[in-house]
Amino acid sequence: MLSLKLPQLLRVHQVPRVFWEDGIMSGYRHPTSSALDCVLSSFQMTNETVNIWTHFLPTWYFLWRLLALAGGPGFWSEPYHWPLLIFLLPACLYPFASCCAHTFSSMSPRARHICYFLDYGALSLYSLGETRRWWAWGGGAGAFRGRGGAASARSPPQAHPSGLSSCPAYPQAAPSPMPPTPCRPPGCTAACTSSLSPPPHSIPSCAPASPATPAVLSPPRFPELESPGLSKILRTAAFTYPFLFDNLPLFYRLGLCWGRGPSCGQEALSTSHCYHLFCALLTGFLFASHLPERLAPGRFDYIGHSHQLFHICAVLGTHFQLEAVLADMGSRRAWLATQDLPLGLMGTMATLGLVVAGNLLIITAFTASLFRAPSTCPLLQGGPLEEGTKAKLQ
């Protein structure tokens, strides 16, 4: 009879520093686990188990919503619905990528970084989906000036439904129906940089033998270990910047309708918009604060620590965001029919493909930098810490 032995769990002083989590003292998996061990650990109570399942199950929920909506009457025959694909496809992808990252991140330090590079790339795509849904259905009335017809010749160039150009670096760009894709890859870059910076700087303990080694061949830096504060700022900014930028139309409508109630017309917001904003703020707070485990280290190792709550709030925020999208699609359809036609199916998928290609190039560059680091580098060794270091921590 087949018998599977669950992997042994370790305490914080038994794993390399790169695997440490603030306030989490136990429940760590072995840092050189096999792929099978990683899968089995998802059925064992570790400090990652709830992280895995809080994004694995929602993946199937959002996939069900996508299939139900895409299979509905008139979806493929009406271009009005097509931008929903560029929102829901990343909404299915990002929780699945996160689930895989948390599952397989204990295979090795290198695998850990690569897993989260892919996780950050999926979040970048989700940010694009947020922008696309505002462009299609959620922008304020002023957002549609300059999108076509005679008004285009009199209106200033704009590439975002808030009336702002897509990126500060492209303020004079010509009018285009394309959503602001140039801002998506930098978010992925900043998130990846928070874990691993590319050359030219190197870690003294991992430096090449020859001082004449070109900078491009020198090992990468690990700001996550060298400067955890800087790493946290970069990672938080990589999430905050896209959220603020993508939701400028929501803030515009919120300011326009504040205190006006139903008289706001097509700019009126549904309760789902408010719930989405609340979940987003709570998600950011949990990610930045590491509460409650920071106040009571070891008490929330398995259930109730901030990253688990962060996952739950993020998924709830995505759910309410989808409901807000559907509310806008229904309540604003008659008004939007007087505006220009939305981006076609080919344009929608081409936009998504462009950002996927950009993110893959970024992830490839960071992964190549990671593999240039020598295997003797202590920060890339997956075994337990040396006894001297362990004694100090104990």
The annotation places the binding site for Zn(2+) at 102
The 3-class secondary structure across 144-167, one letter per residue, is: HCCCCCCHHHHCCCCCCCCCCCCC
> 269 with 254: CB under 8 angstroms?
yes
The CA-to-CA distance between both ends of the chain, in Å, stands at 41
Return the closest-CA partner of residue 231 out of 194, 283, 198, 269.
194
Tokens 């960071």 label which residue?
366
- Phi, psi (5° rounding) for residue 164? -100, 155
Residue type, 339: Q
User: C-alpha angle 379/384/387, rounded to 5°?
Assistant: 105
Binding residues: 102
- Give the up-direction half-sphere exposure of residue 353: CA atoms within 13 A in the CB hemisphere: 6
For residue 247, the 8-state DSSP code is T
> 380 with 109: CB under 8 angstroms?
yes
Rounded Cα–Cα distance for residues 188 and 117 (Å): 8
Q: Which two tokens stand for residue 365?
A: 């560059």
Please name the residue ranges forming H helices in the chain: 35-41, 49-70, 83-104, 109-133, 151-154, 184-195, 223-226, 228-246, 248-257, 271-289, 306-331, 333-336, 345-372, 387-393
> 111 with 122: CB under 8 angstroms?
no
Rounded Cα–Cα distance for residues 26 and 14 (Å): 9
Return the closest-CA partner of residue 59 out of 115, 113, 102, 111.
102
Rounded Cα–Cα distance for residues 258 and 268 (Å): 9
Q: Which two tokens stand for residue 195?
A: 């874990």
For residue 7, the 8-state DSSP code is P
